[in-house]
Amino acid sequence: MVQQKRILYEHLDVPNINTFDVYRQHDGYKRFEKAIAEYQPDDVSKMVMDSGLKGRGGAGFSTGLKWSFVPKDIEPRYLCCNADESEPGTFSNRYVLEKNPHLLIEGILICCYAMGIETTYVYIRGEFTLGKKMLDAALEEAYEQGYLGENIKDSGINVNIYSHPGAGAYICGEETGLIESLEGKRGQPRNKPPFPAVEGVFMKPTVVQNVETLCNLPFIVDKGVEWYTEMGPIYGDARFDPPKPDPNTGTKLYCISGDVNEPGVYELELGLTCSELIEVAGGLRGEEVKAVIPGGSSAPILTHYELDTRLDFTSLTLAKSMLGSGGIIVMNETRNIVDCLLNIMKFYAHESCGQCTPCRWGTPWVRDIVQRIADGEGRQEKITRPKFGIAEGGRWGDTGETEEIYEDLDLLESVANNIANVDTMTWNTICVFGIAVSWPAVSYMRKFRPEFEATIREGKLTTLSVEEATVPPEENYAFQQRIIPKEMSELG
């Protein structure tokens, strides 16, 4: 049985850890003091780079690399903490904000010290009223205690933190949408490049980091890179010769919900498999696992055949899904996948910001198609189209055969793929919201096609048994095309 590895959450349950005094008793701000006493800013950046810390917000981009893109000669630079945690199935940042806000402040201080930043904005999801209250109280205490403001503890460092509530838009969790919203504009993502590291808040260089990412910094500084890199696998990117290290180090706050006995946030080392995780969360509630959403509702779904997938950034990407925000939703045999998809599509159709064409009009279209199928009004007509599967040479591709498919399912797949393509992993939209819509839609439809077909055929929502509902592994596009990454130690 895998044990939790509580680092960020170590003192989460200590009573009154949200107050400065209690936090201080538990090494609070000592790691920041260590950073300014023992390291130069560049040393801290290098430690973060060497630790292999990847952004915990969803994209999994290397934090150290992101920091290295920030031009050091442009003033002012900003840090923007993304606390707009709105991905369905994700609730880890919320605990930090509500229970241990000083940890976030310490993380921000270390980041500001490393990057020479004096102004930080914490963009908090509008619905987190308690979280904002707790953070604001903690900020006030930190100012009183001299850990924020001008010339912190006589070190010559100035850091000011402003908390800013969102107004309830999912898209403002996207880093550039967040920046636009913070600037007082309509929350619509910007085109990239330029990335926020070059032109962010008020068109100045900006580091945008998730709460969880920032909370990792005190521990990296305190316990060192070696300690940190011992947690989690370090893969090798075999496209390069010699293989390029691809670290998935550290712990992750997995938010496990759905059909498990003990849902909640679990802090675990990266690289556990899906099955192990379900065990950690008290085991499955029900008879069988039907499906698992591995990274918030925007991630492509995993079938019970894919439960051996390791839940880290690299493995899931190569399995044609994503770790995203680490919101894991487990579904048992009673769940209807069409209904699940409808639920998710309703959310995304409502949350599309409407800036770019494919998402603005494609997302509601996908929702309408799923709605029609779920209502039992899916069209009975079938069309013939080329069949994809295991083609010559054992690789996934056009088999040269044809297959019959319900027109609506073909339409659903095609419309979703036109927003963002699951096969090529590309998107036609400005931001990755397009992926959040289309990848689930296509993956649910393809991996649980029998259930969709039964629903259309029967003219009502029809739940099949797990075996019947899931396409066999040899017809599962993701299972067939997935690559299981090798760790550096295996590659030699």
Partner 1 sequence: MAFIKLNDLEIEVEDGTNIVEAARQNGIEVPHYCYHPGLTRPANCRMCLIETYGTPPGAPPGTIAPDRQLATGCTTTVRTAPPERKYEEKFDAIIRTDSPRVVKAREDILEFLLVHHPLDCPVCDQAGECDLQDFSHRHGRDKSRYVEVKNVPPKKDLGPDVLLYSTRCIVCTRCVRFCQEVSGTGELGLINRGSHDEIDIPRSHEGNPIQVLDNKLAGNVVDICPVGALISKDFLFKSRPWFMDKEDSICTGCSVGCNITVEYKEDGVYRVKPRFHEDINQHWMCDDGRLGYHYVNRDDRLQLPLKKVDDEQTTTQWADAINTIKEKLGEVEAEDIVVIGSAQGTNEDNYVLQQFAHDVLNTTQLGLFGQLPGEEHKYPQFTIESDKNPNTAGARTILGSANGNVVLEGEDLWQKVASAKVVYLVSGVPDRKLQDEEKAALENVEFLIVQDVLPSEITELADVVLPGTTFAEKDGTFTNSTGWVQRIRKTVDPPGEAQVDWQITQQLAKQLGSEINYSFAGEISIAISENVQGYEEATHQNIGDAGVKLA
Q: Quick check: 311 binds partner 1 (CB under 8 A)?
A: no
Say if residues 466 and 288 touch (Cβ distance below 8 Å): yes
Which segment (14-22, 100-108, 271-279, 361-369) binds partner 1 by CB under 8 A? 361-369
> Of the listed pieces 9-17, 56-64, 266-274, 366-374, which binds partner 1 according to CB under 8 A?
366-374
Distance CA 411, CA 392 (A): 27
Is residue 428 within the footprint of partner 1 (CB under 8 A)? yes
The answer to whether the CB of 306 falls within 8 A of the CB of 274 is yes
DSSP E strand stretches across 166-263: 206-210, 234-237, 244-247, 251-258
Residue 296 contacts partner 1 per CB under 8 A:
no
Q: Is 43 helix (H, G, I), strand (E, B) or coil?
A: helix
- 347 touches partner 1 (CB under 8 A): no
How many CA within 13 A on the CB side of residue 425?
Answer: 11
Q: Should residue 369 be labelled a site residue for partner 1 when binding is judged by CB under 8 A? A: yes
- Segment near partner 1 (CB under 8 A); pick from 99-107, 289-297, 319-327, 427-435: 427-435
User: Cα–Cα distance between 315 and 427 in angstroms, integer?
Assistant: 21
The angle at the Cα of 64, spanning 61 to 67, to the nearest 5 degrees, equals 95
- Rounded to whole angstroms, the maximal C-alpha distance in the chain is 75
Task: Please identify, using beta-carbon distances, which residue of 307 and 488 lies nearer to partner 1.
Answer: 488
Question: Segment 112-141, which members bind partner 1 (CB under 8 A)?
Answer: none
Nearest Cα to Cα of residue 177 among 295, 59, 352:
352
Residue selected from 219, 365, 477, 479 as contacting partner 1 according to rule CB under 8 A: 365
**Element (H or E) spanning 396, and its range?**
strand 396-406
Q: Is 406 in the site for partner 1 (CB under 8 A)?
A: no
Q: Which is nearer to partner 1, 296 or 362 (CB)?
A: 362
Give the nearest distance from C-beta 87 to partner 1 in angstroms. Answer: 18
**Residue 363 lies near partner 1 (rule: CB under 8 A):** yes
**For partner 1, which is the closer residue by CB, 350 or 460?**
350
Only one of the segments 25-33, 75-83, 115-123, 355-363 lies at the binding site for partner 1 (rule: CB under 8 A); that segment is 355-363
486 binds partner 1 (CB under 8 A): no
**Spatial contact of 333 and 286, defined as CB atoms under 8 Å apart:** yes
CA–chain centroid gap for 471, Å, is 27
18 near partner 1, judged by CB under 8 A: no
Which of 89, 358, 378, 450 lies at the binding interface for partner 1 (CB under 8 A)?
358
Count interface residues toward partner 1 (CB under 8 A): 38
User: Is residue 184 a contact point for partner 1 (CB under 8 A)?
Assistant: no
Q: Which stretch binds partner 1 (CB under 8 A): 233-241, 298-306, 470-478, 480-488?
A: 233-241
What minimum distance in Å lies between the beta carbon of 297 and partner 1?
Answer: 17
Give the separation between CA 202 and CA 76, rounded to whole angstroms: 10
Shortest separation between residue 188's beta carbon and partner 1, angstroms: 8
Q: Distance between CA 19 and CA 29 in Å, rounded?
A: 12
Closest CA to 326 of 84, 91, 169, 63: 91
Residue listed under structure tokens 């496209």: 239
Place of tokens 């100035």: 158
Q: What is the distance between the alpha carbons of residues 151 and 158, in angstroms, rounded to a whole number? A: 5
**Listed ranges 16-24, 78-86, 102-110, 351-359: which one lies at the site for partner 1 (CB under 8 A):** 351-359
Q: Which is nearer to partner 1, 143 or 240 (CB)?
A: 240
User: How far apart are CB 141 and partner 1 at their closest, in Å?
Assistant: 37
Shortest distance in whole angstroms from residue 361 CB to partner 1: 5
Minimum distance, C-beta of residue 369 to partner 1, in the bound complex (Å):
8
Cβ pair 67, 53 in contact under 8 A: no
Identified binder of partner 1 from the candidate list 16, 155, 191, 261, rule CB under 8 A = 191
Check if the beta carbon of residue 198 is closer than 8 Å to that of residue 71: yes
According to CB under 8 A, which one of 372, 382, 387, 486 is a site residue for partner 1?
Answer: 372
**Cβ neighbours of residue 247 under 8 Å, at least 6 residues apart?**
51, 52, 54, 229, 232, 234, 235
> 291 pairs with which residues across the strands?
303, 331
At 456, list the tokens: 């259309």
From the list 69, 162, 227, 240, which residue makes contact with partner 1 (rule: CB under 8 A)? 240
Identify the residue among 16, 361, 398, 484 touching partner 1 (CB under 8 A): 361
Residue for token pair 């400065």: 20
* Interface ranges with partner 1 (CB under 8 A): 169, 186, 191, 237, 239-241, 244, 349-358, 360-365, 368-369, 372, 411, 414-415, 418, 424-430
